[in-house]
Structure 1
Amino acid sequence: MEAKAVARYVRVSPRKARIVVDLVRGKSVVRAQEILAYTNRAIAECVEKTLNSAVANAENVHNVRADLLYVKEAFVNEGPTMKRIRPRAKGSAARIRKRSSHITIIVATREED
């Protein structure tokens, strides 16, 4: 049994989001929620919301208790990049790239493996 949740167009670079997502991959859901609650990164809150959504999907659709689940897959894909311009010296311009991410978390029960 698997349940999935995706947070799309999150305004953080994928490189920064992968640092937090790597902390919870393979852990039990209860342990992952504890880790995210005390992680000192802004994106940890969004990853925790996505994890809680995946757990709620498992509970509502498949009638599975949260303490039986673990984080089977967790990954961050690159979303669209907004391009902005900052004025520089002598009338030139520098490009600013505001990156976004798509966070995907899949939870499953241990018995399937």
Structure 2
Amino acid sequence: MEAKAQARYSKIPPRKARAVLELIRGRGVEESLRTLQGTHTRGARTITKLLNSAVANALAGEGTVKVQSGELFVKAAWANEGPALKRFMPRAMGRATRIRKRTSHITIVVGLPEGAKGAKSAKREK
């Protein structure tokens, strides 16, 4: 059983978002939330909200096995590049340089460990 949450067009560069996502990937949800609470970066707040949304999606999923939030763990987390806002900064002698304010699309997938009941069984070998 998996549940997914996405934050699109987040105003944080993907490189900085990936650094925060590395801290929570593969860990339990409770441990991940504690880690994010102690991480004082701008991206940690966005990723905390996104992780809470993914957990809510898992708990409210129709036709799925009832799970506790303590059983869930972060199966996958990634940040892809979104569109960049292009700005210009005036420089000396009438020149200008381009500033790219990068955005990102962040995705978090939570689910049950493979051995837990309610998880999908392994595919049969032919």
TM bin (shorter chain): over 0.9
Distance 2:96 2:38 in 1: 40
Q: Which structure shows the bigger proportion of residues in strand conformation? A: 1
Please, what is the CA RMSD of the aligned residues? Answer: 1.1
TM-score using structure 1 length: 0.96
Can you give the 5+ residue segments of structure 2 that lack an aligned partner in the other structure?
none
The total of aligned residue pairs comes to 113
For residues 37-56 of structure 1, what are the structure 2 equivalents within 5 Å?
37-56=37-56
Per-residue Cα deviation, 1:10-35 (whole angstroms, up to 9, x for no partner): 00111111110000000000000000
Q: How does 1:50-89 map to 2 (within 5 A)?
A: 50-61=50-61, 62=64, 63-89=66-92
Q: Unaligned stretches of 5+ in structure 1?
A: none
Matched, 1:6 2:9: no
Aligned to 1:17: 17
Q: How does 1:82-97 map onto structure 2 within 5 Å? A: 82-97=85-100
Please identify the structure whose Cα radius of gyration is greater.
2
Greater helix content? 1
TM-score (norm 2): 0.87
The percent identity for this pair of structures is 50
